[in-house]
Structure 1
Amino acid sequence: MPKPHFLRRPSGLYVRFLIPLDCRAAFGRRYLVRSLGNLAGDAARLTAAQFGYNLAQSIGALRAGMPMVKKRKTLPGPMMLKHGVGYAPLASSLPPPEALADEVDPFAPGDHTPPPVRIQNGAGDEVFHYTQQMGPDGTFTLTTDGTEEDHRRAMEMAAQMAVHFHGAVAPAAPVQSARPSPLLSVNIPLFLTQFRQKKPSAANILDTTFTLRILLSVVGDKPVRDVEATDMDKFLDAIQHWPPNATKQAAFKDLTPAAIVKKAKKLGGRVISQRTQEKHLDSLRKFFKWCVRRKELDDNPAAGLHVMTRAEEETRTRRAFSDAELATIFDPERRAKHCDTPSRWWLPLLALYTGARAQELAQLRAADVEEVAGIWGLHITAAGEGQHLKNAQSRRFVPLHPALIAAGLLDYRADAIAAGADRLFPGLGAKPGDTVGDWFNRTYLRSVCGFDAGQVFHCFRHSFSTKADRAGVSEARIARITGHSTGGSILREHYIDAPSLLERLATVSAVVFDLPPVAPYAAGRFAAFFTKHKKVQRRKAAVDGRARRSSKA
């Protein structure tokens, strides 16, 4: 029997039933909903159970090729003639099920009272040698009075009726059993487990987990196969009202995602960027694509779902920094006051002179700064634990610009190694690129430098490419440094090939910026930072150790 799902709406209590997959074409819908009026408690449950029973009878009738009823109007089922214990099936006189979709009430009680049967002799007199009966399954039975003559005549009549009805009725379509569909609450943890096995970045896991948490909260737990366009509308509405860092704000503390969205709508204020919304949609598509591959969904309900056009995404408020803006960003007094950690001091400079992405630089290990054939440079790879690249073209060796060496980057590297740091810029957490970007974009550029929201860390990448282009460097040579795709015509099997190192160094050196003087790095500048970081790491190791011992006990 279909399981009732209760819905409380402003107009009262309702009950909803899921229609099996093989019957939806006949019903013309996925769900059937009925009002329970002002009923509550046991009375509502009893009425819902009665609805469910009647619906089960209608579904059973439909699967047997029988009709459903409207306003208790009885339609005949398959006819059978009975004599003793023998049955003779007749061709059904029913209309095809699809003709009934708009004419039936599947919740109508199963009234199987047969229509009157008039049997006459040649003189027109009625004879009553037959009785009629319609069973619970809709089978229509005529029973003779038991004489051989009556049975013979009844069988002749049955043959004539079969000829009369033959060809007038479309045969019932074969019933395909509906494959059970797991709930979202079951599939999401399984997907995340298998997703982790592919070893994505910790940031990717956190983002995907959070996206699916929002999905489950705003659409509710339901079978995966029942997720539809209206659910995607709810998800879109949620992310378009989602406040930045909502879970860290006191106003939204301990609230579910659905409650956060409801409260955010009342409070108003800033929401996450369109780019962040697109990331949520990317994670959603990834999950439903996995469901489709497992044949738990016919198609991906999030496919083609976007909040930005491709053109908008390509040109989203990105341009190179002007010389005046760079002078503001790298003002010596401003940097001395606000760039108080290794990552804040070095990463803007590295981005300006390499054109690399924030994530690529923030995840560097100390060992990734290396001298190759007499040329110092950065290994931008995904070889280390927790390192990830955007694509295959991103793997590369970038020579250090002379300005970086003059600024003392190699001296800083030595300090980091001496302090026992594996990461070149420790303390950035599971999402190092986001940590750097958030501080630079929201704090340094907006609050400290007074820039508008159109400028972000990624603009360093555009600044490098723009300067290289104006210096006459070819697009292919720029792509070697920045890790852009070149269509496969330039990149080679190995990302380091000795003949190209001098060319790469020349490309990097051709990029010149008119910046205020950068004070050389003084050895030991961040000694206090490394000492504090060591204490944090020791404390974390102790906590993890106690947790492991406790789990074994």
Structure 2
Amino acid sequence: MGRQTARTYIKYRKGSKVPEYDRDVPADVRHIVNKAKWKKSLRGLSLDAANAEARRLASEHDQIIAAARSKTPLPSHPLGTDAIDLAGGIGDLLQWFNRRAIDAAWLRQEAESMREFVASDGPSDEVPDPDWAASHTAALDAERHQINRQLARDAAHFRALGKTPDDLRKSRLHAAADVIEANPRDRDEITLGGVLEEWKTASKASATEQYEYPVKLFEELHGALPVKDITAVHVLEFRNALMKMPPASGGKFDGMTMQQIIQKAEAEGLKPLMASTSSKHFRCLKTIFAFALEDLFVTADVAAGIRFRGAKGKHAEAKKQKRRTFHPNEMKKLFAGAENHKWRDAEENIWFLRLLTWSGARPEELAQLSSDDLVKSAGHLCLDIHDLGENHSKNESSIRRVPVHPELLRLGFEDFVKAAGNQTYLFSTLKRDGRGRLYSAMQRRLSALIDGKVSKDPRLVPYSLRHGFKDALRLVPGYDREVAEMIMGHSNPRHQTGRGYGTEQIVVMAELLAKADPFDKRRVVSEFEEEEEQIAGTLDDLDGEVEG
């Protein structure tokens, strides 16, 4: 081998520019680790990304060495080792874990049956000798206890990887789910992903994707480190990397790590995320770090003193970061373009556009609708927006029934729903992206329509239609803000959730909604910030890069 960089164990073969992670396993632990060297090619990564990946591997291998030297048995699949790969992947390792859990349950049942048989009043020639039975059940119990000790140790690692009992039961790994449920997390080994799962359980948040995404990116950048080993420098490096991330809608980066996405963005000159979006991701991440301290997984919140700094620019540039609604004349151009557009899935696309225009619902809420979600309530046909099954909601207030606008009924919405039949979703061409969302493909279609038929103004986005409808509600004589918030699914101290909507609420919503016209010439263009998610436990930003 040729030269080697300090501490990261990156080496280059003689005459090659391809970096490799190359580290010798210390001689005193080779018999435990069962290998003499760790090697991994870092081909295709930029120098910064290769260094980050090498640091992640080095940290994981440091933990393995420390565990081996502590004279405590290494887990069967310690985080970061290639034992998962040797097992055929995490799925195969979980199958093995499930089989071992089944073995332990069978041993317990056999021992219990033997004890019951010995204590029975059966014929003497059939009941086993008590001494033999005692030694046999002792052997069964000893084997079961050995398996259970291993399962308890491994359960902590599976939970640290974010594997919950519900996830395992969905995969029909019921025995593994029972073991993980019965064994608490190892607080010394829990990762940020594991803390996220604990936060989800404690907070009972209904819309968790906004938190899962930045945690996923963080662990792609730094690896699944124990949260107690994460430093402020790790958080600072993540913040700086996040500012380089391009928009990932539409699944165009599916299967790529954060480092690979950034490298591709830099090579192709892709624009980064809007500052409001990347700032939101960072606040979500800080919420999980704050919870880690609150629940005593750590003794200090290493993210608390790190502030997100958006790129500074001129007023005109800052203005572009905002969104705006469509002018009524632009609405006409949009719908004329949609009617004449040569879409492959024209009917679905036009109906999605109509619903987004005349309902005020969020795009993802519409993407999740099925034919069963058109229900009659208080004499009105309503959209039933819920979080049942695989559906997700932003918060409790977004779970609601919204009367269908008369214009949608006039255009034949009921016929469109009937034609969908027993399809899982009304918009059957939409598939879940890497973040589990259905709207991504429709967002691309509508964005292309807006750019091609209306304007290339970056402030005009499909979401502008929702805000245009909100403005149209304000123009209705006798406008009631609280009723409008119920329609839009906004939080209100006196409106806890749409689950309890009764006849009165449906009727008043229907009255207001029926008079709202997004094509009303009186409606003027308004600007709005990208809708912020409600961040539980949002921290106050502190001055300085890293304080203390």
TM-score by length of 2: 0.52
Partner of 1:70: none
Partner of 2:231: 228
Matched, 1:409 2:409: no
SS at the partner of 2:324? Answer: coil
Residues 368 and 380, structure 1, Cα contact 8 Å, conserved in 2: yes
Residues 395 and 495, structure 1, Cα contact 8 Å, conserved in 2: no
Return the offset for 1:204: 4.7
Partner of 2:334: 329
SS at the partner of 2:382? Answer: strand
Matched, 1:375 2:380: yes
Partner of 1:475: 481
Match of 2:507 among 491, 495, 502: 502
Partner of 2:468: 463
Q: Which runs of 5+ in 1 are unaligned?
A: 11-179, 517-553
Return the offset for 1:326: 0.5
Return the offset for 1:345: 1.8
Query: Which residue identity does 1:300 align to in structure 2?
Result: D
Partner of 1:295: 296
The within-5 A match list for 1:62-73 is none
Residues 364 and 380, structure 1, Cα contact 8 Å, conserved in 2: yes
State the distance in 2 between where 1:427 and 1:247 align.
Answer: 13
CA deviation string 1:371-426 (max 9, x = no partner): 223211112222x2122222222222211111100110001111112xx2132222
The within-5 A match list for 1:38-437 is 182=188, 187-188=191-192, 190-191=194-195, 204=208, 211-219=214-222, 223-245=226-248, 256-258=257-259, 260-262=261-263, 264-265=265-266, 267-303=268-304, 305-307=307-309, 317-331=322-336, 334-338=339-343, 340-382=345-387, 384-417=388-421, 420-430=422-432, 431-432=436-437, 434-435=439-440
The within-5 A match list for 1:501-540 is 501-514=506-519
Structure number with higher relative contact order (C-alpha < 8 Å, ≥ 6 residues apart): 2
Partner of 1:85: none
CA deviation string 1:212-268 (max 9, x = no partner): 34323434665533433322221112111123349976xx89875335435644553
Query: Which residue identity does 2:238 align to in structure 1?
Result: F
State the distance in 2 between where 1:390 and 1:248 align.
Answer: 21
Partner of 2:451: 446
Residues 379 and 398, structure 1, Cα contact 8 Å, conserved in 2: yes
Normalized per residue, which structure has more helix? 2
SS at the partner of 1:6? Answer: coil
Residues 343 and 436, structure 1, Cα contact 8 Å, conserved in 2: no
CA deviation string 1:513-544 (max 9, x = no partner): 4499xxxxxxxxxxxxxxxxxxxxxxxxxxxx
SS at the partner of 1:511? Answer: coil
CA RMSD of aligned residues (A): 4.4
Residues 243 and 271, structure 1, Cα contact 8 Å, conserved in 2: yes
State the distance in 1 between where 2:222 and 2:299 align.
Answer: 19
Return the offset for 1:197: 6.7
Return the offset for 1:7: 4.6
State the distance in 2 between where 1:409 and 1:452 align.
Answer: 31
State the distance in 1 between where 2:297 and 2:10 align.
Answer: 30
Residues 317 and 455, structure 1, Cα contact 8 Å, conserved in 2: no
Residues 191 and 225, structure 2, Cα contact 8 Å, conserved in 1: no
Q: Residues 203, 341 of structure 1: CA spacing in aligned structure 2 closer, same or farther, 3 A cutoff?
A: farther
Partner of 1:487: 493
Residues 326 and 515, structure 1, Cα contact 8 Å, conserved in 2: no
SS at the partner of 1:337? Answer: coil
CA deviation string 1:82-119 (max 9, x = no partner): xxxxxxxxxxxxxxxxxxxxxxxxxxxxxxxxxxxxxx
Residues 400 and 498, structure 2, Cα contact 8 Å, conserved in 1: no
Query: Which residue identity does 2:290 align to in structure 1?
Result: K
SS at the partner of 1:398? Answer: strand
CA deviation string 1:94-149 (max 9, x = no partner): xxxxxxxxxxxxxxxxxxxxxxxxxxxxxxxxxxxxxxxxxxxxxxxxxxxxxxxx
Query: Which residue identity does 1:390 align to in structure 2?
Result: K
Give every structure 1 segment of 4 or more consecutive aligned residues whose post-TM-superposition deviation is greater than 6 Å.
Answer: 195-203, 246-249, 252-255, 312-315
Q: Residues 239, 433 of structure 1: CA spacing in aligned structure 2 closer, same or farther, 3 A cutoff?
A: same
Residues 193 and 216, structure 2, Cα contact 8 Å, conserved in 1: no
Residues 355 and 482, structure 1, Cα contact 8 Å, conserved in 2: yes
SS at the partner of 1:272? Answer: coil
Residues 358 and 436, structure 1, Cα contact 8 Å, conserved in 2: no
Residues 285 and 302, structure 1, Cα contact 8 Å, conserved in 2: yes
Partner of 1:58: none
Residues 360 and 433, structure 1, Cα contact 8 Å, conserved in 2: no
Residues 181 and 296, structure 1, Cα contact 8 Å, conserved in 2: yes
The number of equivalent residue pairs is: 337
SS at the partner of 2:7? Answer: strand
SS at the partner of 2:246? Answer: coil
Return the offset for 1:346: 1.3
